[in-house]
Structure 1
Amino acid sequence: MLPEYDFSRELFSQYELELSESQYKKLDIYAEFLVAYNNNVNLTAITDPKEILIKHFLDSILLVRYCDIPLGSSLIDVGTGAGFPSVPLKIYRSDLKITLLDSLNKRIYFLEQLCDKLEIEAEFIHRRAEDFSKKSEYREKFDFSCARAVANMSLLSELCIPFVKVGGYFISMKGPTENVSEGENAIKILGGELTDICGYELEGEERRIVKVKKISQTPTKYPRNSSQLKKKTL
């Protein structure tokens, strides 16, 4: 399914990443299952093997180059969709403890089957982030939350920062166009601080990784409910 191992390994090395044969084999299983499942359930518009390797797998794994993620860190992927970036990260860094959160049960069902095929451990949560982060056993319990989504930074921050423990980080994967600074007020209200924006190119396309450090507890009234979130951003 994926381009051959030597090509994939060389591609990763161009971004200062090593790719073992066992990691490659799991990514190959992932790609094949994703494309087959996508025939019945819409998970991704990207189905070309080389594009899956670059735009889904390499892009997800590049987080480890730009973010210091300590051994054994816990990470919740908010609105994970088809598992990006957390499942490729788990394949690349088996020490990570990942929680996959999505509002659509059909995606969670796909992820359960996928992780079973890959023989990797994960926690699967079918809930909306604005509701689930109110639960005491998940609120401010994670070292990292992440999102690879098109929503604006203010909204993503309100959905993701409440999951992060003080001292942890919310990481947002962004394209080149959004004015991320417009989310700074929300970040501050939610107990965060914008610490870094890492820009890089992925095969000629601009990407950014936005890092927000949790410096104080999120006020209990956040996140607001879905109707309030739709009406007005912080």
Structure 2
Amino acid sequence: MDEINKNFHNQIKDLEISFDDQKFSNLYDYFVMIEKSSKEFNLTSLSGWNNISNELFTRSLRYIFFLKNYISNINYKFLDVGTGAGIPSIPIKIFYPEISLSLCEPSQKKCSFLEEVIKKLNLRNIKIENERAENLGQSIKRESYDFVLTRALAKLPVLAELTLPLVKVGGKVITAKGKFPKVELGESKYITELLGSKKTLVEKITIPKSLPTDHFIIWEKYKSTPVNFPRRNGIPNKRPIVSK
């Protein structure tokens, strides 16, 4: 256990994240829960500490590059859309327990798993929204979050419609793709501007170098989203609005 702790600490040191034994203990408990419950709750095809810590934990902590100037402010509200097993936000919450976090997940089974994680790790100031993003985006939660995070949720035109209605004017949507998503970026240009984001920022993250590269896509919202977006459940995915 001490060797695993040391190796993980060395791996994330370049991310400049505050690290202590209690945080690692919580992260390891989270790993054990994923391993134990993965098949029952359909959480991930990954298994073993190395695979899960690399792909799910460390790559989630890369989001801190874009959040470090905001994450200590308890007034900011974070939302993880399509969180599944709690990725990317539970690893972030473990290392930054003060953040105000909501988890949006339509699967009741996965929400049950998340409830167990929250209880086991004694996480505070965290809420589960057992809801589709389309419904949440047409509820009183619309345009109420400062940051919306996602990972491996959908192609960018679909993702824009699911997330931009949820973020405040002045807030940001942050997602990560592995390979540079050239085609998706072109396809999403019209819908992102329509829904309130004027500019798309793409940042390449290679730290730690032992892991695959991630390309982070950031949309900052400068105006309110038209009230007819997002469309009904399933429509964004079935009929995405793609730039010509």
TM-score (norm 2): 0.89
* Pair 111,231 (structure 1): closer, same or farther in 2 beyond 3 Å: closer
User: Match for 1:89: what amino acid?
Assistant: I
Letter aligned with residue 53 of structure 2: L
Match of 1:225 among 217, 221, 232: 232
CA offset at residue 105 of structure 1? 0.4
Contact 1:26-1:118 within 8 A present in 2 as well: yes
* Greater shift in the superposed pair: 168-177 or 156-165: 168-177
Q: Cα deviations across residues 37-66 of structure 1 (Å, max 9, x unaligned)?
A: 114222011112012111111111111123
What percent identity do the matched residue pairs reach?
26
Paired residues of 1:75 and 1:142 also in contact (CA < 8 A):
yes
Cα distance in 2 for partners of 1:193, 1:171 equals 15
| Equivalent residue number for residue 171 of structure 1 | 174
User: Which residue number in structure 1 is paired with residue 41 of structure 2?
Assistant: 41
Shift of the alpha carbon at 1:227? Answer: 4.6
Q: What is the distance in 1 between the residues matched to 2:3 and 2:188?
A: 39
Q: 1:213 aligns with which of 220, 229, 243?
A: 220
Q: Is the 8 A contact 2:158 2:237 kept in 1?
A: no
**Is 2:164 the partner of 1:161?**
yes
Cα distance in structure 1, aligned partners of 2:38 and 2:9: 26
Between 1:191-200 and 1:214-223, the stretch displaced more is: 191-200
Q: Cα deviations across residues 124-147 of structure 1 (Å, max 9, x unaligned)?
A: 1111111121112x0101001111
Q: How many residues align?
A: 233
Q: Is residue 184 from structure 1 mapped to residue 189 from structure 2 by the alignment?
A: yes
Q: Aligned pair 1:4/2:4, yes or no?
A: yes
TM-score by length of 1: 0.93
Q: Specify which structure has the bigger relative contact order, considering alpha-carbon pairs within 8 angstroms and separated by 6 or more residues.
A: 2
- Check conservation: 2:83, 2:104, Cα contact below 8 A: yes
Q: Aligned partners of 1:230, 1:9: CA distance in 2, in Å?
A: 39
Q: Find runs of 4+ consecutive structure 1 residues off by over 6 angstroms.
A: none
Q: Is the 8 A contact 2:148 2:163 kept in 1?
A: yes
Write the letter of the residue equivalent to 1:134. Q
Q: CA RMSD in A?
A: 1.7
Counterparts in 2 of 1:117 and 1:190: CA distance versus 1, 3 Å: same
**Equivalent pair of 1:90/1:96 in contact (CA under 8 Å):** yes
Shift of 1:195: 4.0
**Secondary structure of 2:215's aligned partner:** strand
Q: Which amino acid aligns with 2:81?
A: V
Distance 1:132 1:86 in 2: 18
Q: Identify which range, 115-124 or 67-76, moves more after superposition.
A: 67-76
**Partner AA of 2:25 in structure 1:** K
Equivalent pair of 1:130/1:225 in contact (CA under 8 Å): yes
SS in structure 2 at match of 1:213: strand
Q: Give the structure 1 partner of residue 94 of structure 2.
A: 91
